[in-house]
A and B are shown apart, each in its own frame.
Chain A
């Protein structure tokens, strides 16, 4: 048997419990041996696979760097954190939980703004009037910037927002937001609406691996067996 296969798993929240449930369906029960708040988990009946509990948004880069071999987290986080993911990471499968969309949202009373072209138009108008750029609050700076480059939008500025982004407009921190939403309920309650063509990414939880690692270990029985197990329904 080769060395341990290390897989990064979200350390808390809904994503963590969904991942646990997913493993249970594969007869891979996660058990806790240490203290209640100790971040250590193991698979009950597999010692060749080592789960590693990590912050969901740290998992992509750690897999990219090769500090862990595999990871499970949101696709949004993978694409945002690892800009060269297509060259350094292999996506093994998408999972049917953690479903959410990265979207552009703005005040609902902007009845004249429904497309990116409208947004571009008012951004330009605003810049001419006040010599300021339209501020877009988001946690997903890279994805938003790339999206706007390909859509040829210019008169905007990104402001970082690590959470409670839906409130950023009301609080005067931004003029428009780009955020992740699953049901749209939070956006509704904050009097925001979506653009018709403002869908940046459809996201779900996804299993991925370090590309070099997969190539170097393609003969490892442990890895092959594990991938077979989690890779199919």
Chain B
């Protein structure tokens, strides 16, 4: 056993012999499942990632300046570089995997080392067909790799809450605002409170701005010169919209409690559809999301997954896994204080944004922390 450790880094002892046999084992599994190995750069252009992830990237990843190339970033995961590779390949569909290090800043109290050896795999399909089948295929692939370990699985499905929001009898503006903040629970809660009680909004004058009903233009004129990105028209238009939104189509109390009930669902995967159906009372889009969940569960059952022992949470992954927007999963080693050994999910809209393809583009992937596997 040999290890070089930089000062101040968390100890991440690696048994190279065991690691090598783990790698070989995983490679074999991937080969059998017809995944192709790809190599992606470690150093990426920061501007593309910043545009996608926002300033949070600088808190989580190692960014570095370069007077020639501009700001660079050490890859914080494989998802984006593999996706870029796929988009450049011109293929219609592909199954890729990649092995190597990723780097992430960690908090002082974190048990996760800042440099990790991971293997990541991604399934892409531009047609977006058979998403549920791909979900299950990805899940079973991770299970195969983790078979010999005692792991606990948690799953979620972000489509459930999104489609519940779509069901609401309110304006598109309000629905979009709620969907946009699915990942930010505090703000989500604040918004749904506001949207369900228009009078309160005026009393508190928060969230949607304070404005005089009749004299927006007058007060713009009074407040000095116009400069910067917004025009006078932008402001008048927004105030008109807000006025309308605050007075019309408030979210009804029953709808609000419907959303809250959906959010609180936490059960075994096997019981989830039954519970969700009892909340939904047969609404259309929502039952489509439950149908998908049921289809997925059927296929998982056929793949010998124990549905009783697999957890399901509607809100799972909403605080930590921002770009996921469908099925999500995470595997924790039982009885060990370790970070999740594997984590993944569906991220169709990220792909659709990057590929400028709104029609169906589907992607699901997962990472496995193999430097932890050899320690178990």
**A residues apposed to B, CB below 8 Å:** 84, 87, 106-115, 117-118, 120-122, 124-126, 133-134, 145-146, 148-149, 152, 154-158, 169-170, 175, 191, 193
Contacts and interface: CB of A to CB of B under 8 A. Distances in A.
A179 to B, nearest CB: 15
30 contacts: A87-B108, A107-B224, A109-B224, A109-B225, A109-B232, A110-B230, A111-B216, A112-B216, A112-B238, A114-B210, A115-B207, A117-B190, A117-B207, A117-B208, A118-B209, A120-B187, A122-B230, A124-B180, A133-B51, A134-B229, A149-B56, A152-B181, A152-B186, A154-B56, A157-B50, A169-B228, A170-B227, A175-B229, A191-B224, A193-B223
Contacts of B205: 114
Contacts of A146: 59
B224 A108 contact: yes
A92 to B, nearest CB: 23
Given A122-B230, A169-B227, A110 B55 contact: no
A111 B235 contact: yes
Contacts of A191: 223-225, 227
B219 interface: yes
A102 B340 CA distance: 39
B210 A109 contact: no
B52 to A, nearest CB: 11
Nearest to B232: A109
A148 to B, nearest CB: 7
Given A109-B220, A110-B235, A152-B186, 6 more contacts: A111-B239, A115-B209, A118-B207, A126-B229, A155-B54, A156-B54
Interface string B200-212: 0000011111110
B184 interface: yes
B229 A112 contact: no
B321 to A, nearest CB: 15
A124 B184 CA distance: 14
B185 to A, nearest CB: 9
B219 A111 contact: yes
A146 B235 CA distance: 28
A107 B206 contact: no
Interface in B7-54: 50-51, 54
Interface residues of B, number: 38
B55 A145 contact: yes
B58 interface: yes
B39 to A, nearest CB: 30
B302 interface: no
Contacts of A145: 55-56, 58-59
Interface of B: 50-51, 54-56, 58-59, 108, 177, 180-181, 184, 186-187, 190, 205-211, 216, 219-220, 223-230, 232, 235, 238-239, 242
Which of B54, B207, B219, B242 has the most chain A CB within a 10 Å cutoff? B54
Given A112-B211, A115-B206, A149-B59, A157 B54 contact: yes
Contacts of B181: 152
B55 A148 contact: yes
A75 to B, nearest CB: 21
A125 B239 CA distance: 13
Closest 8 pairs between A and B when the two form their complex, measured CB to CB: A152-B184, A117-B207, A191-B224, A112-B209, A108-B223, A109-B223, A118-B209, A169-B228
Contacts of A126: 229
Nearest to B353: A131
User: Of residues A111, A120, A145, A152, which shows the largest number of chain B Cβ atoms within 10 Å of its Cβ?
Assistant: A111
Nearest to B51: A133
A84 B225 CA distance: 42
B180 A158 contact: no
Given A118-B207, A157-B55, A107 B219 contact: no
Given A112-B239, A133-B54, A175 B228 contact: yes
A175 B51 CA distance: 16
Contacts of B55: 145, 148, 156-158
A61 to B, nearest CB: 17
A114 B209 CA distance: 6
A12 to B, nearest CB: 28
A158 B209 CA distance: 24
A193 B294 CA distance: 53
A49 B146 CA distance: 62
A126 B225 CA distance: 21
Contacts of B238: 112, 121-122, 125
A124 B179 CA distance: 13
A121 B227 contact: no
A89 to B, nearest CB: 15
A143 to B, nearest CB: 12
A146 B55 CA distance: 10
A155 B52 CA distance: 10
Given A112-B211, A124-B180, A191-B224, A107 B230 contact: yes
A232 to B, nearest CB: 33
A145 B226 CA distance: 27
Contacts of A109: 220, 223-226, 232, 235
A169 to B, nearest CB: 5
A87 B242 CA distance: 45
A87 B219 CA distance: 48
Nearest to B204: A115
